[in-house]
């Protein structure tokens, strides 16, 4: 068979998790917490299952969940959105990203991605006939060079994708970035996809700057988030997309044939905890900031150089004082010799820079972080 994705193999997250398992390593590779979400969430899930919410959910999502998302959006980002026309619940952010691309990308359209970027974007663009135009972020802070973005715009540009907090670097976008993006797309037909799955993980007192807080951008954006991140349940795959009615209508045409709906009882349970324990997501920045700071202090005596982490749940480390290996070879060596799984950065790039960086996930309990840090200090 002639592959539609000849350059795609198995994702680096699966590859490294399998290696971690085979090597009996501490897995700081694939991004997922090794601790549980709130007990209230599990109690609610069990109750909804027992009460019989086991058939299809409404196609656009459980109404109470959409209402709670609208309330949260208004409370945090100051925008009142319509729960019926603007919000669609999806099977994780991954489905939402795919559906957004499929809804608007036509054959030959260009999509601007900022490298390094999450690995599902480019294949989703290409399967829908689009062409990826990849602009590197600036090292070492992974900031956006908006002039380069502007220079990359052509009459075929259909979408600019942004991701804040950023996977893999943890960089966050600020108001000035949003204004720069708005300047570029004003008076064009360019749409924005804003991947905000780490919206509740921004540190040091800085607020998350959502596209939903920016009137001009919100009117032309698909804003995507994931309860997998917010409630430490990546395996539930419940996410959502917020977009103006005309964009949501097109989005839903895809979603209804991609998955139709997602796990009914889980949607009901998430709606319950959004309402009953809003402190959970309000306290997440402090929760993850403490993990970040703890992990950084544990690594202080190591030969890894730690990059700044303004958001997200990943620590980038520079290993150039340790090895000349390229990042994939270094991760293979690290997991085999020191029993710690990390993620190389090169799979997030079209053309990786000459840097020696790998990603470590700190969404782990104390014991896991301490164990990993001991091993990393021995490197």
Pick 195 or 332: Cβ nearer ligand GLN: 195
**Do the beta carbons of residue 255 and residue 226 sit within 8 Å?**
no
Per residue, the 3-state secondary structure of 247-269, as one string, reads: HHHHHHHHHHHHCCCCCHHHHHH
Pick 178 or 202: Cβ nearer ligand GLN: 202
Pick 157 or 167: Cβ nearer ligand GLN: 167
**Minimal CB distance residue for ligand GLN:** 31
By CB under 6 A, tell whether 30 contacts ligand GLN: yes
Rg of the chain over Cα atoms, rounded to whole angstroms, equals 20
Q: How many residues does the chain have?
A: 379
By CB under 6 A, tell whether 116 contacts ligand PMP: no
Segment lying near ligand PMP (by CB under 6 A), choices 92-100, 107-115, 242-250, 293-301: 92-100
By CB under 6 A, tell whether 165 contacts ligand PMP: no
Q: Which does 195 bind (CB under 5 to 8 A by kind): ligand PMP, ligand GLN, none?
A: ligand PMP
Q: Which does 164 bind (CB under 5 to 8 A by kind): ligand PMP, ligand GLN, none?
A: none
By CB under 6 A, tell whether 118 contacts ligand PMP: yes
Cα angle vertex 151, ends 146, 154, to 5°?
120
Which of 94, 128, 157, 267 contacts ligand PMP by CB under 6 A? 94
SS3 314: strand
Distances (CA, A) of 72 to 65, 78, 157, 252, 256: 10, 9, 32, 22, 25
**Do the beta carbons of residue 160 and residue 190 sit within 8 Å?**
yes
How much of the chain is in helix, strand and coil states, percent to nearest 5? 45, 15, 40
**Token pair in block for residue 358:** 């790998």
By CB under 6 A, tell whether 234 contacts ligand PMP: yes
**Do the beta carbons of residue 153 and residue 159 sit within 8 Å?**
no
Q: Footprint of ligand PMP on residues 42-81 (CB under 6 A)?
A: none
Residues 194-233, mask of contacts with ligand PMP (x by CB under 6 A): -x-x----------------------------x-x-----
Q: Which does 93 bind (CB under 5 to 8 A by kind): ligand PMP, ligand GLN, none?
A: ligand PMP
Q: How many residues of this chain bind ligand PMP (CB under 6 A)?
A: 14
By CB under 6 A, tell whether 31 contacts ligand PMP: yes
By CB under 6 A, tell whether 13 contacts ligand GLN: yes
CA–CA dist 257, 240 (Å, integer): 16
Applying CB under 6 A, which residues contact ligand GLN? 11, 13, 30-31, 167
């Amino acid at each position: 068979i002639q592959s539609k994705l000849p350059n795609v193999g198995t994702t680096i997250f699966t590859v490294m998790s399998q290696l971690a398992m085979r090597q009996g390593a501490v897995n700081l590779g694939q991004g997922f917490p090794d601790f549980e979400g709130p007990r209230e969430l599990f109690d609610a899930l069990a109750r909804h299952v027992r009460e019989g919410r086991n058939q299809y959910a409404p196609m656009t999502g459980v109404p109470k969940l959409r209402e709670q998302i609208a309330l949260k959006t208004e409370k945090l980002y100051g925008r009142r959105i319509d729960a019926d026309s603007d919000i669609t619940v999806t099977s994780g952010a991954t489905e939402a990203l795919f559906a957004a691309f499929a809804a608007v990308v036509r054959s030959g359209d260009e999509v601007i991605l900022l490298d390094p970027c999450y690995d599902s974007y480019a294949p989703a663009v290409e399967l829908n006939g689009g062409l990826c135009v990849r602009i590197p972020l600036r090292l070492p802070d992974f900031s956006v060079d908006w002039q380069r973005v502007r220079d990359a715009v052509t009459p075929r540009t259909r979408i600019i994708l942004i991701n804040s907090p950023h996977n893999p670097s943890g960089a966050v976008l600020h108001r000035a970035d949003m204004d720069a993006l708005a300047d570029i797309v004003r008076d064009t037909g360019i749409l924005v996809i804003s991947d905000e799955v780490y919206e509740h993980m921004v540190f040091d007192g800085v607020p998350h700057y959502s596209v939903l807080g920016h009137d001009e951008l919100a009117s032309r954006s698909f804003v995507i988030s994931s309860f997998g991140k917010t409630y430490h349940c990546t395996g539930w795959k419940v996410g959502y997309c917020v977009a103006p009615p005309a964009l949501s209508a097109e989005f839903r045409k895809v979603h209804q044939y991609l998955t139709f709906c997602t796990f009914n009882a889980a949607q009901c349970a998430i709606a319950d905890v959004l309402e009953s324990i809003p402190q959970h997501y309000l306290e997440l920045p402090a929760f993850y900031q403490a993990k970040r700071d703890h992990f950084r202090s544990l690594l202080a005596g190591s030969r890894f150089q730690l990059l700044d982490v303004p958001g997200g749940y990943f620590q980038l480390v520079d290993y150039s004082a340790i090895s000349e290996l390229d990042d994939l070879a270094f991760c293979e060596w690290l997991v085999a010799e020191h029993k710690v799984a990390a993620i190389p950065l090169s799979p997030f790039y079209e053309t990786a820079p000459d840097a020696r960086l790998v990603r470590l996930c700190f969404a782990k309990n104390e014991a896991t972080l301490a164990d990993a840090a001991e091993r990393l200090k021995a490197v």
